[in-house]
Structure 1
Amino acid sequence: MFDWIIDASLKQRLLVLALSLALIFYGGHTIRQMPVDVFPDLNKPTVTLLTEAGGMAPEEVEQLVTFQIETAMNGMPGVTRVRSVSGIGLSVVSVEFDWGTEVFRNRQQVAERLSLVKEQLPEGITPQMGPIASIMGEIMLIALPADPENTSPMQAREYADWVMRPRLLTIAGVAQVIPIGGEVKQYRVEPAPAQMSALGVTLDQIESALKNYAANTSGGFLEQSAREYLIRNIGRTNRLADLQNLAIGARNNQPILLKQVAQVKLAAAAKRGDASYNAKPAVILSVQKQPAADTVKLTRAIETALADLGKSLPAGMAPPQIVFKQANFIEASVSNVEEALRDGAIMVAVVLFLFLLNFRTTLISLTAIPMSILITALTFKLMGLSINTMTLGGLAIAIGALVDDAVVGLENILRRLKRNVTDGTHKPALEVIAAATKEVLSGIVYATVIIALVFVPLFALSGIEGRLFAPLGVAFIVSILASMLVSVTLTPVLCYYLLAPRRRLAAPGAHRNPAGDAAKIPWWSLRFNLHAGEEYSPLVKKLKQWDTHILYWSFDHARPLLTAALAAALLAVATVPFFPRAFLPLFNEGTLTINLLLNPGTSLSESNRGGARAEQLIAQVPEVIHVGRRTGRAELDEHAEGVHYTEIDVDLKRSQRSRNAVLQDIRNRLGVLPAVVNVGQPISHRLDHILSGVRAQIALKIYGDDLDTLRALAAQLRDRLATISGITDLQIEKAVLIPQLKLRVDYEKAAAYGVAPAAVLKALETLVGGEKLAQVIEGSRRFDLVVRLPDSERGPQALQRLLIETPAGRVPLGRIAEIEDGDGPNQVSRDNTRRRIAISANSDGADLSGIVARIRAEIAINPLPTGYFTSLEGQFQAQEEATRLIALLSLMSLLLIFIVLYTRYRSTALSLMIMGNIPLALVGSVVALAVAGQPLSVASMIGFITLAGISTRNGILKVSHYINLCAFEGEKFGKEMIVRGSLERLTPVFMTALVAAFALVPLMLAADEPGKEILHPVAVVIFGGLVSSTLLDTILTPVMFWLWGEKPLKRLLDEHAKQAF
């Protein structure tokens, strides 16, 4: 099938070398230009809708805003789930679409639905779509310290809002910059009701005067003296004195100035969040990238911008500090995997040289590695893939297999060239090399196709696991196919130049060219050759001696050996269900995300004190470098967190202590705080959020209509789950009652004074909640002008005395409204329009599937009331779905392998004989998994899939050689033929297996290093399986062929006498 490629390559040898050099230069350039990231794009297409609703209570936000938006979003094409959180003055609706849908089309659909729903929302409330950003896109946290001695919190926030944020947003690839902390500057007008009453000034007069304050207008054009003038009516000012002296009315022909009825000042806007750095006040900016941006390059551009900003900081302002940088994890992960690639290639070279004891043959074999990697890199570019731990991981896993095809072809070429000299035939070198390559071509092609087939399940995986592992499959398959192409093009050409003729193999004194004078070999190809005249290296000689004795012994004990192997395979299969389960291995990101939840209703100032105390405790841990804290939420943030919520980002340095020991130390120190603590890592938290909407490994959601019942059921379940061993960070979503001050208008009393309740509520909204009436412009900066009562006038007693304008005159609010203490929910969460409350938990490293099984048992003990139900979600759910799908598709892959083998050999017996290597490999992989202490995760199952294809290669090489010996070299079926075929294939079989196994050793060492965590289980499974399948195949495949191969062999020879296998 590929014979013409071999002939064309040998005929156009210089062209092949030229194209190879071009590939090296162009491929190297391409790799340097490719984007680098930690993982493939895991972002499920999601559109986030943010709606600021003033100071509305969560119940009103849910009823008036969230419900309307949810209803409009449901039913759109491609929508899989609609999540929402209604908090204090904020509605966040997340619309999730199917994987593979186009984000711009999704946003267009959402925009169309929003245009229809706007009329149903309260006046002045407008939903906004969040930027196109990945949930994994928070690439950096930057702290701007606000040292009270040198820089006020307001100055720091103003610099962050109007200098740092605009500068960072100009960088290509930045999607959003969200500042939190400091004090937002505001021009504040605080009316004095007593003075207003004394001077007869109404609230409407103040509002009317302020609404158009500091505005410019246009005056058109003026033509005069043959010139045209543009007329500007300038009223803009940013002087506080001008605002204070603003006339708002007149009395007794005397102007009434604003400062006479109100306090006018610069003040800090009402805060719903704060921040600190190393327990000191700061402004923290969260930088989010666009989905396709190169994280590493973007980080460098941001660092350059920060360095430029640092040169022109205001006097006394401390330079920005980086709290968290995702690029650190990316660079460490990619560097570790690149080192594993490099070290694996070195180990491959060592193994090859030990077998060949020949520099040139080793060099020819190793050439397949860089050429295959470069071809794979070009394929990545065409497919739009990035360089990340999964694409590099696919190459690292395949690194040993990349030389397999070249080794098989090279070994056969070398053997045929030697025989060509020793037999005295002296055929032209090109003819010998072409024939030798074609002889093994069929086996190479079929083995490679089978390895590719077993990766088919990876591309059928859905969800995160599919997005995560599909690029690994692409990298593996493309690199294996590329290595096959190299083995039939470049490898024969290099063999011609470097191996034929070989000086010490020729007859004494006969240094002539077997190919004739027309095809002379350069003199430099005869150098750098050790032990060239020996048939085999000492290692191979010894192995063949041992193999000869073992094979003859095995023929005499065939059935007991097969019975023992079958028993071992069945035992391995039976052991698999008892392994602990996990979705993915734990990452080692080098950064922690610690969530602190105080009781809802806790004030921001109290949360700040608790957060600062937590920072001090965390800083005492030896591994901690620095700490950044964010309490509450920022103005632009899409997370509807209350002021009781604190998120602390901790940067760690490596130490002798294990990761679990450090985490436990932090948990113990934070245990003294009156708060619920959840310790995780940034990327891991976001993966959990994608899976369940909760930042934890396990999310138990309770659905129902009544919030009080949901809270009670959650408390009961939490108490029962607390008894389950292995659970940590157990907490209920803080959907509890918070204190409220309710101002309820009495309709009858309001009517008695001739005032409409709506007018009363509008005045209360302005005076108590505050209303933005205008903006004061200072250059490119804009600051809100707000009317609001001073804090001293906003308490229950003061509000009783607040004078309200009525047709009957000013009356105290207490006469027309009731003021009472009450409570209400701090937030309302919904999934697919159903109210829900979530209980979240993490595993302390124990068997995740076992924990989930015990949780399900607890749920089943006491059924919930009618109308209420639970849903258990999280990593385990993805793991269970992936396990079922991989198991089903793996059976399909095995069927495809059988079909391919049967198509080639036309024999069920020979096909099953070759596939017998798969259960033999399972024995070693199960043992290796148990010895390494690894759970059965999606990563380890990928290892099993890979192993199924690699392990069949040995059987194909041996069985094909047995058939070719009988077909072309006159051998008769029997023990001697099988022994000869096994010994002649011992070198390529052992070399291909050992290089594939030893190339994985770097991934097996230092398993907790960034980048290796997810690849370590894959390497462990493949390594163990290769060891067991290679050792057992050395005995069992010859034995099985001796027992059941005679009839299929005879039939093949009768039907395909001249066909090479």
Structure 2
Amino acid sequence: MKALYASPMRVYLSLLVLALFGVWMGTRLPVSLFPNSAKPHVYVNLGYGSMDQEDFKSSYGGTIESRLRGINTANLKVEKLEADYGTKSASYDVEFQWGSDPQDALREATNLMTAGVASYPKEVRDSLNIYIRSQNSGFFAASFYSETRPLDAVYKDLEPILTPRLSQIEDAKEAELWNPNHKKIVIELDPARMASLQLTPAMIQSAVQEKTVGFGGGSIEIGDANYPIVVRKPNIRVEDLASLRVATPAGQSLLLGDIAKIDYRVDEGNTHVMKTSGSPSLILWAAPKPGGNVKKMSEDILELVDRMKPLFPADVKYKVLVDPSEFIRGAIENVFHEVLIGSLLAVGILFLFIGSFRNVVTAAIEIPLSMVLAFILMKFSGMNLNLISLGGLALASGMNVDASVVVLENIFRHLEKEETPKDFAGKLRIVMGAVKEVRLAVIASTIASLVVFAPLAFTSALSYAVLGDLAKTVIFSHGFSAFVALLLVPTVRLHLIKHAKDPKADIGHSPIEGGLKKLEAGYARALGAFVQSRKLQVFTAGAIFAALAGLFLFALPKLPKEVLGTPDTDWVMLGLNTQGNTIVRQMEGETEEVETRLLQKFGDEIRYTFTQVNQPNSSWIMARLKDKRKMKDFWKRLEAEFKDGATLRFWINPWNPAELPLPNPPDLRIAVEGGDVEDRRATAKSILDALKEKKVLPSLWTEPGSDKSKTIVLRPNLNLESSISPYDLADILRVATEGKNIHYMNVNREYADIMLRYPRGLMKTAEELGSFPVGIDGKVVPLRALSDVRIEEEASGIHSENGRELYAIIGRKENSAEKTSDRGYLKVADSVLADWRASHALPSGINVVTEDAQVEVNDAIHQLTVAVALSIAMILLTLLFQMGSLANSLIVLVAIPLGFIGVLTSLLVFQSTLSLNSVLGVILLNGIAVANSIILVDFGDRRFREGMAPKEAVVGAAVQRLRPILITSLTTILGMLPVALGFGQGGRILQPLGIAVSGGLWFSMALTLFVVPALQYRWLSRGAGKAAGKGVSKGRVLRTLGRAKDAPGEVPGLTVPVAPPVSATMPRAPEVSS
């Protein structure tokens, strides 16, 4: 170190190279809104084909569930599997653990399902659809539309312009221009002709597939090589399909065009509907590669669209629906502003206490330099720039100056204490001695501040996924701050005094020196009176215990719980759910009515809307507000306007395009399990009605729905011999009602499904269904002659979780725009359920269980609470190693519960939440709060060992360390103040953490300055008094206290500076008589 201090240019150049390398590494970090960690959900959908729900579940459902639940590799494990068996298809939600790689999860599920369904019926195999949802990486979406031309015409113009160039977007895994009006080749059969010719849809399907499907013909060995044989499908066009030959059972051959109308068009029954401000829209959608830079991807796409815009037709308009780069830019800029504001506030505190501009710069240079150096380790550890990691830098900005203050202040003390030599070697000796004296203290205090994060490694995957980046960033940045303080600060200070005639003149004077001296004098009098007044101490201890008990018993339960604060957004979603629709167009009509009502009521506050209808019974409307600051009020009024009706249910939520997918559990969950499906449904329906009658929660429903759905049931006449099987009958009806995809063709460089169907609207009632003509045994008979046709009510679906079939009764509070911790509804629900049990007999095998609806959130917070306890234990071990005294270590730890008072009070006063971030704030506060306590206890202990009386030692030490404590505490508090205020985009995410640390440190600092010296005074007085009563020598007293082995003026273990500062900045305290 001596050689480095003596060669400042070597230090400056080395740190400059490191800083430039850090800046370069920072530019190479991927940018996203949230950390890379994800909890992937893989979705598997399978159609039943011609089977019904019961047959599919009994034949294949159990096997599929068992296989999916069994995914268990070194890096993948299924945490939860939900299966839903509807009337036409089955869906499986495979939820993997936090931290699982999304692509590995998708690959494993795809391989398993592809192999598993190989033996299933072809229709089931062809319907297999597997996709993944892992939203934290974000995505980009924009809509293109014309108010004068149809969507197909717009697509025809834009597709050749955009599609080839979208494939060149570097960070995009996939990017495409999607036309929701996807065309199909529709073969519309003539029912009368089909029946009279005794034809079935299966015969038409076979004839079409003969001309559109290629076949494998085995292989042949020629010489040493094996040659596969393939029968290629003919190259036919859509218009060629009408010329295909179809053979009838009677041996007649006719053209497909004679019995069917063939068209290449949009099938109105199955299309998606997407509209921007009421106009049908194309969607440009893109998702980033794993670990890709979603911000750069979005910016590249926007640049491409702007560059190609002159080639668009004049009537084409576009709206950017989801642009993560816009939000990320705003959020990241906001965090950098927080870092800048926090740093400036910290610098302001330094100037107030130090007074010299050059000295302030010497200490403050540590803030940006430690942050830039942290980028190096962030890159090597695979992190990215996101709100959480940048929030860690914002939090560290106030902490990072502490080490520099300690080093600089000790150099000042040595310069004033000693006769300043004229030669450089003497000045170097003074600086070296000052640094050596505090080197271990700086390293130890830094370790003590960072060791509290170690227990995070043992918390739940959710906690670590959300908070891991923040903890690592604080560790990297604050760790480098000690390195900078011990290397750069002494080098700069030595460089400044190298040629100075009077180095002491550069120490500087505080601009508020008079006020600080008055503060010290007043503090000395107040503390002197406090340490000698046992009554006042007992009253204070009682007040502290009462405050802690009251806050934990009454305030803590009132804090609303959440995983993580959500970033501000200008998007709100209005979702619609209904029952009974059979085609998307029906839901489109209902959605248009709701959208019209929305715009009439709130149109002046909305920039534009985007509507999507994907299913016959569900849709959603996205509205983008003109002013995101009005979101909370707008949300409330929207909930008041759109109340659930008899058939239409609404859900309303703000939506952020790049929001981390965190648990959003309901407020109430009751599981009805066991027994048969009808008993479960009836029981769930009865309990739901009882809960609604008592108005336990405003929003209550069951999953799956507990209302019976009406089903047309056919029971074939078993006494009637016929050549048509139940499978053929179901196939005929499926083609007659919904249509059936039988294969595909390539049309204009796009794949188009071939759909077989009868004319839409042919059957609208059960009576018309019974009259449908069927050709059988040379005759045409109505369907009712072959089967009994009637409408029956049945359960709408079967739902299972991890193999357990159940109905879940779900409840949510109204006005979710307001956070509340009121859980009185649980007692009401328990009372209603008890009354229901008393008046109803449970069917055989049925079990009703009230479950913890927020189990994942509660588990995460509980594990973090354990982490708080572990962090305190680790601090205690560090203190024992550093101080060598259990008593002194326990006195130091008193600062932690004092901080708890401030944390809970601040969270309650500022109406914040009990979240993962606020609990992490407690962990962070533990490491910061004990630093002040260490300074007081260690310095007072050394003064006592030097022969001072207990009161003189303790009070004098506290007064002399008042300024360093105020500097380090205020710089940390003000450095975190912008985070606590939660300004700008993304500000609410880290706000609970900032409130917890800032509020907790205020209380901890204020109480520590009185409580810790008083406790130390009582301990030292007790030891000295016992020794005096027994006639023990002073040396024996010191040995009893376990400190005599340390010579006066030595640094015992790892401690702070030996002697008090005597500079103008840190003047000696007034003498206090004992």
TM-score (norm 1): 0.85
Shift of 1:381: 1.1
Aligned amino acid, residue 906 of structure 2 = A
Q: Does 1:564 align with 2:540?
A: yes
Compute the displacement of 1:662 (Å): 1.3
Quick one: which of 1039, 1048, 1061 aligns to 2:1014? 1039
Residue in 2 that maps onto 1:638: none
Give the 3-state SS of the residue equivalent to 1:354 in structure 2: helix
**Does structure 2 retain, via aligned residues, the 8 Å contact 1:85–1:829?**
yes
Decide which of 891, 895, 901 is 2:879's aligned counterpart.
901
In the alignment, which of 494, 497, 504 is matched to residue 496 of structure 1? Answer: 494
Residue of structure 2 in register with 1:554 after alignment: 530
| Counterpart code for 2:192 | A
**More moved, 829-838 vs 253-262:** 253-262
Does 2:669 correspond to 1:669?
Answer: no
The residue number in structure 2 matching 1:295 is 294
Are 1:834 and 2:804 counterparts? yes
1: distance between equivalents of 2:538 and 2:442? 27
Q: Which residue of 2 aligns with 1:884?
A: 862
What SS is found at the alignment partner of 1:878? helix
Report the 3-state secondary structure (helix = DSSP H, G, I; strand = E; otherwise coil) of the residue aligned with 1:296.
Answer: helix
Pick the aligned partner of 2:607 from 612, 622, 625. 625
1:959 aligns with 2:937: yes
1: CA distance between counterparts of 2:582 and 2:249? Answer: 46
Comparing 180-189 and 169-178, the one that deviates more: 169-178
Look up the SS of the partner of 1:912 in the other structure: helix
CA contact (8 A) 1:803 1:813 kept: yes
Secondary structure of 1:821's aligned partner: strand
1:509-524 paired onto structure 2 within 5 Å: none
Shift, 1:247, TM fit: 4.9
The answer (yes or no) to whether the contact 1:61–1:87 under 8 Å persists in 2 is: no
Deviation at 1:792, TM superposition (A): 4.1
Q: Judge conservation of contact 2:366–2:481 (CA < 8 Å) in 1.
A: yes
1:412-453: CA deviations, max 9, x gaps? Answer: 111211222479999812211121122223332332222222
1:538-579 per-position Cα deviation (integer Å, ceiling 9, x unaligned): 444343333333333334335523640452244124312323
Question: Does 2:584 match 1:604?
Answer: yes
Relative to 1, partners in 2 of residues 1:103 and 1:811: Cα closer, same or farther, differing over 3 Å?
A: same
In structure 1, the residue matched to 2:150 is: 151
Q: In the alignment, which residue of structure 1 is the partner of 2:21?
A: 26
Structure 1 partner of 2:1029 = none
The alpha-carbon deviation at position 25 of structure 1 amounts to 1.0
Instruction: Report the counterpart of residue 781 of structure 1 in structure 2.
Output: 750
Aligned residues: 1001
Q: How has the CA–CA distance of structure 1 residues 729 and 491 changed in structure 2, closer, same or farther, with 3 Å as cutoff?
A: farther
Q: Does the Cα contact within 8 Å between 2:84 and 2:92 map onto a contact in 1?
A: yes
8 Å CA contact 1:409–1:436 kept in 2: the answer is: yes
Gapped runs of 5+ residues in structure 1?
A: 1-5, 221-230, 507-525, 634-642
The answer as to whether partners of 1:452 and 1:949 remain within 8 angstroms in 2 is yes
1:790, CA displacement in angstroms? 0.7
Q: Distance in 2 between matches of 1:136 and 1:859?
A: 40
Aligned to 1:236: 235
Cα distance change on mapping 1:792 and 1:1043 into 2, 3 Å: closer
SS of the counterpart of 2:908? helix
**Is this contact kept in 2: 1:213–1:774, CA < 8 A?**
no
Q: How far 1:84 sits from its partner (Å)?
A: 1.8
Cα deviations across residues 90-116 of structure 1 (Å, max 9, x unaligned)?
Answer: 322222333445556555654564355
1:582–1:938 contact (8 Å) kept in structure 2: no
Alignment-derived partner of residue 636 in structure 1:
none
Alignment of 1:998 onto 2:971? no
- Verify the 8 A CA contact 1:450 1:900 in the aligned structure 2: yes
Residue 449 of structure 1: which of 447, 457, 472 is its match?
447
Distance 1:386 1:788, change over 3 A: same
Letter in 1 for 2:562: F
| Counterpart Cα distance in 2 of 1:179 and 1:834 | 41
C-alpha distance in 2, partners of 1:783/1:824? 36
* Counterpart secondary structure, 1:399: helix
User: With structure 2 as the length reference, what TM-score do the two structures score?
Assistant: 0.84
Shift of 1:280: 3.3
Q: Which moved more, 1:822-831 or 1:953-962?
A: 822-831
User: Do structure 1's residue 591 and structure 2's residue 571 form an aligned pair?
Assistant: yes
Query: What corresponds to 2:894 in structure 1?
Result: 916
Structure 1 equivalent of residue 655 of structure 2: 682
Structure 1 position 737 matched with structure 2 position 708: yes
**2:139 aligned counterpart, secondary structure:** strand
Q: Select which of 783, 787, 790 maps to 1:813.
A: 783
Does the 8 Å CA contact 1:699/1:841 hold for their aligned counterparts?
no
Aligned to 1:74: 69
Select which of 994, 1005, 1011 maps to 2:986.
1011
Structure-2 change in CA distance of 1:416 and 1:427 (3 Å): farther
- Structure 1 residues 498 and 319, CA, compared in 2 at 3 Å: closer, same or farther? same
Segment of structure 1 superposing worse, 659-668 or 812-821: 812-821
* Cα distance between partner residues in 2 of 1:879 and 1:250: 64
Question: C-alpha offsets along residues 871-901 of structure 1, whole Å, 9 cap, x if unaligned?
Answer: 5355x32332233223333222222222221
Native 8 Å contact 1:905 1:911 kept in 2: yes
Mapping of 1:402-801 within 5 angstroms? 402-421=400-419, 428-499=426-497, 502-505=500-503, 532=508, 537-557=513-533, 560-561=536-537, 563-579=539-555, 580=558, 581-584=560-563, 586-587=565-566, 588-601=568-581, 603-619=583-599, 620-621=601-602, 622-633=604-615, 643-654=616-627, 657=630, 659-671=631-643, 675-682=648-655, 691=663, 696=666, 699-719=669-689, 721=691, 727=697, 729-733=699-703, 735=705, 736-749=707-720, 751=721, 753-795=722-764, 796-797=766-767, 799-801=769-771
User: 2:696 & 2:564 partners in 1: Cα distance?
Assistant: 16
Superposed displacement of residue 648, structure 1: 2.2
Q: CA deviation at 1:1042?
A: 2.8
Paired position in structure 2 for 1:338: 336
- Distance in 1, matches of 2:696 and 2:37, equals 28
Q: Once the 2 structures are TM-superposed, how far is the Cα of residue 21 of structure 1 from its aligned partner? A: 0.4
Cα distance, 1:533 vs structure 2: 6.8
Instruction: Return the letter of the residue paired with 1:1030.
Output: M
C-alpha deviation, 1:781, in angstroms: 1.4
CA RMSD of aligned residues (A): 3.9
Task: After superposition, give the CA deviation of every residue in 1:332-382 in whole Å (9 maximum; x if it has no partner).
Answer: 332222211111011011111111111111111111111221222222111
* 1:390-409 alignment, distance < 5 Å: 390-409=388-407
Q: Is the 8 A contact 2:71 2:78 kept in 1?
A: yes
Q: Structure 1's 538 and 250: CA in aligned 2 closer, same or farther, altered over 3 A? A: same
Q: How far has the Cα of 1:733 moved from its partner?
A: 3.7
Cα deviation 1:684-735 (Å, max 9, x = unaligned): 99867x637x7x5655444345444444444444455558899554444462
Q: What letter matches 2:804 in structure 1?
A: R
Counterpart secondary structure, 2:663:
helix
Note closer, same or farther for the CA distance 1:189–1:589 as it changes in structure 2 (3 Å cut): same
1:623 and 1:11 mapped to 2: Cα distance? 66
Deviation at 1:29, TM superposition (A): 1.6
What is the Cα deviation at residue 214 of structure 1? Answer: 6.6
The question of whether the paired residues in 1 share the 8 Å contact of 2:35 and 2:388 is answered with yes
- Does the aligned pair in 2 maintain the 1:600–1:734 contact within 8 Å? no
1:990 shift after superposition: 0.9
Whether the 8 Å contact between 1:306 and 1:320 is mirrored in structure 2 is: no
Aligned to 1:867: 846
Runs of 5+ in structure 2 lacking a partner? 220-229, 1024-1036, 1056-1074
How big is each residue's C-alpha offset from its partner over 1:156-175, in whole Å with a ceiling of 9 and x where there is no partner?
A: 67789998678656645545
- Output the CA distance in 1 between the equivalents of 2:489 and 2:416: 17
Indicate the larger mover: 913-922 or 759-768.
759-768
Residue in 1 aligned with 2:36?
41
Moved more, 337-346 or 58-67: 58-67
Change in Cα spacing, 1:215 to 1:387, as seen in structure 2 (3 Å) is same
Shift of 1:624: 2.4
Give the residue type in structure 2 aligned to 1:816: L
2:910 matched to which residue of 1? 932
Is 1:68–1:120's contact at 8 Å kept on the other side of the alignment?
Answer: no
Task: Tell me the secondary structure at the aligned position of residue 712 of structure 2.
Answer: strand
Distance 1:184 1:792 in 2: 21
Number of the residue aligned with 2:94: 95
Q: Which residue matches 2:1060? A: none
Query: Could you tell me which amino acid in structure 2 is paired with residue 1055 of structure 1?
Result: K
The verdict on how the C-alpha distance between 1:978 and 1:602 changes in structure 2, with shifts beyond 3 A counting, is same
